Amino acid sequence: MTDRRFERIAFVASAAEDAEAARVSLVSRYGDAPLADAQAIVALGGDGMMLQTLHDVMGRGLPIYGMNRGSVGFLMNEYAEDDLLERLEAAERTVIHPLTMRARDREGRIHVAKAINEVQLWRQSFQAAKLKIEVDGTPRLAELICDGILVATPTGSTAYNLSAHGPLLPLASPLLAMTPISPFRPRRWRGALLPDRVAVAIEVLEPEKRPVAAVADNTEFRDVKRVEISLDRKTSLTMLHDPGHGLDERILSEQFGW
């Protein structure tokens, strides 16, 4: 019998009907290994399902191959049931690192969460947020009045960062994108590209009058006073993509209007 690098696959699916139907069909053909024994995970759904799966298996070292059964599939491969083992064998690997968000709230409590896409700060009320930005301990913007701000990884640069008119970052670039959301003052500030080795700190000014929430992907903490953000190089996550359809190619295509 020919040895395969991927013989034991775990299948996970979003709650969407199409995704669950695909999981049932694939399990009938390829079996379904428990996570403890799996060599790879196949995630069925959209980009949200890929993000959830990456969070669920963080620290396990399992590569994830996504197939699109959702509405958005920038991170996913095309869905097909045939030759799955061969596709897994031929897949290209993309290794990414998450951000660590450390947020202190108005009561002095510390909250820590990981973000694969981005860390966001958002105003909680009708009043705009007022923020101070530091990079490696040096104040860079004494006062930013805005609806919010985000710090995105190269992976996350294709998500909400892009909708907020932030830059697209090639996967291999050692950069983070800092993008304001509806900036009011300074009105012309459009954000910054930061080396991914830096530590970012965002201080909330007037937190009682202008309350702010901090969000790491889908984990939210409210009434924060200070948020510190840095790249966690000790944690590695692996996504698998069909040859010629990796994230770098998709980012290039997006920039040229495809």
Annotated binding residues, written as ranges, equal 47-48, 117-118, 147, 158-163
Question: What is d(CA 104, CA 81) in angstroms, rounded to the nearest whole number?
Answer: 47
DSSP three-state, residue 66: strand
CB 124 within 8 A of CB 215: no
Establish whether 47 is a catalytic residue.
yes
Cis geometry, peptide bond prior to residue 211 (ω within 30 degrees of 0) = no
Question: Is residue 254 packed enough to be buried (19+ CB in 10 Å), middle (13-18) or exposed (0-12)?
Answer: middle
Distance CA 197, CA 176 (A): 9
Single out the catalytic residue among 3, 18, 37, 47.
47
Residues annotated within the binding site for NAD(+) are: 47-48, 117-118, 147, 158-163
- CA quadruple 203, 234, 113, 48: dihedral sign: positive
Q: Give the active site residues.
A: 47
